[in-house]
Structure 1
Amino acid sequence: MEMDDYRYTTFARSRVKDLRKSMTPYERHLWYDYLKSCPRKFQRQKAIGPYIVDFVCYAARLIIELDGEQHGEEDAYLHDEARTHYMEQHGFRVLRFRNHDVNTHFEGVCQTIERALEDKNIQGRMSSDGA
């Protein structure tokens, strides 16, 4: 991916800083209790193209997205699908977890991420409880 594909505008830079300061409790939990110290380097709240992703590991081309309740609505689902398609077209794999999974199945979420880091074929909507 060329650097031109990362539309890191002044607006995006400002928005990213705001999002880092106002992470959800689920994002904070995943970041501070797993991803920040993960052997594979993850970054949080990064602009990729027209989107800002929750977490990305550039070396593994892996994006982690956490979805709240609003992501179950049809409009949000379609927006998420467009985001995922864009990321996949640019060589990334996207794992999506519900906030509920991070809260109640944290070890399973971490294990799923570890498997994805090891297996380049793991992608898509995932839930640690099989949903």
Structure 2
Amino acid sequence: MSPTGINPKTRRFAQRLRREQTKGESALWRALRELKAEGIRVRRQAPIGSYVADFVVFSNKRVIEIDGDLHGFPARKLHDAKRDAWLQKEGFDVLRFQATEVEENLEGVVTAVRLRLGLEVTGYPHP
């Protein structure tokens, strides 16, 4: 176990996910990086316990997940529910978006994230 408490296997998995991000993750990441100008630091594919969050804002304890087709299967839904329950127990608020929603309505997803973070919605830079 590392000094941060993150299992090295989980850390390697997160690194691989960062290298192999999906089209939706890449688009949302470009938009979320813009929040840095407003004092919000977003990390992508960040380990939290034994899980890896697509995006996380540790200062606000917000996790942002993009669910692809696999998340529709019963076993995956069960895993996601268990994971969300654990994250919520740790004090995180989990926002979930479908991959198609990110690809078809990126501006709407960014608006929803901004609202959840308590940020202004109008006048933000468009990716």
Assess same fold via TM > 0.5: yes
- The answer to whether 1:99 aligns with 2:99 is yes
Quote how far apart the aligned CAs of 1:24 are: 0.7
**What is the aligned residue count?**
114
User: Does structure 2 retain, via aligned residues, the 8 Å contact 1:7–1:50?
Assistant: no
Deviation, 1:60, is 0.9
**For the residues of structure 2 that align with 1:37 and 1:18, how far apart are their CA atoms?**
23
1:61 matches 2:58: no
Partner of 1:11: 9
Report sequence identity in percent.
Answer: 32
After the TM superposition, which residues 29-108 of structure 1 pair with which residues of structure 2 at under 5 Å, given as runs? 29-32=27-30, 34-38=31-35, 39=38, 40-108=40-108
Taking structure 1 as the reference length, the TM-score comes to 0.82
Gapped regions of structure 1 (runs ≥ 5): 120-131
Q: Which runs of 4+ in 1 moved over 6 A?
A: none
State the alpha-carbon separation in 2 of the partners of residues 21 and 35 from structure 1.
17
Partner of 2:23: 25
Structure 2 segments unaligned to the other structure (5+ residues): 120-127
Deviation at 1:7, TM superposition (A): 4.0
Tell me if the contact between 2:63 and 2:94 (Cα under 8 Å) persists in the aligned partners. yes
Q: Tell me: higher relative CO, structure 1 or 2? Use CA pairs within 8 A at least 6 residues apart.
A: 2
Task: Tell me, yes or no, if the aligned pair for 2:7 and 2:50 is still in contact at 8 Å.
Answer: no
Inter-partner Cα distance in structure 2 for 1:51 and 1:16 = 9
Does the 8 A contact of 2:67 with 2:98 survive in 1? yes
